[in-house]
Amino acid sequence: MKLADSKTFFNALADETRLRILNLLSEGELCVCDLIRVLKEPQSKISRHLAYLRRARLVESRKKGLWMHYRLAPQSARISAALLRSLQQGRRDFAEFKKDLKEFNRCKGSLAACCN
């Protein structure tokens, strides 16, 4: 990783919505519609933050029909991999993350219904 790339990486981690998205993607691949439903945010906001995370190489995407699916990207730089592991290990320390995970688990059976 170049030092200039690290600026984008750290800026990506400096936003609450992007951290909430990364928290949910720790559960596995999710459709944009799933993130909208769990986070209760408009599609435009979620998509904008996902685009930022994609530019920072924190997430990967694939298209299925009309919807995009996102997952955490493998991290080749040791520092980025370590930071993401730390975020995942401490994710139950944040009230927002707990709330999102609770909503995710409540909706789990009906997620990705938009894609079927």
Domain assignment present for 18 = yes
Q: Residue 98 belongs to a domain with what CATH number?
A: 1.10.10.10
The percent of residues above 70 in pLDDT, for the chain, comes to: 95
Whole-number average pLDDT of the chain: 88
Q: What's the predicted TM-score (pTM) here?
A: 0.88
Range of the domain at 41: 3-103
* pLDDT on residue 56: 92
| 103-115 b/e (C-beta count within 10 Å ≥ 16 → b) | ebeeeeeebbeee
Q: What span, in angstroms and rounded, lies between the C-alpha atoms of 93 and 70?
A: 24
**Residue 116 confidence (pLDDT) above 60:** no
Query: Higher model confidence: residue 33 or residue 91?
Result: 33
Q: Where are the alpha helices (DSSP H) in 14-62?
A: 16-25, 32-39, 43-55
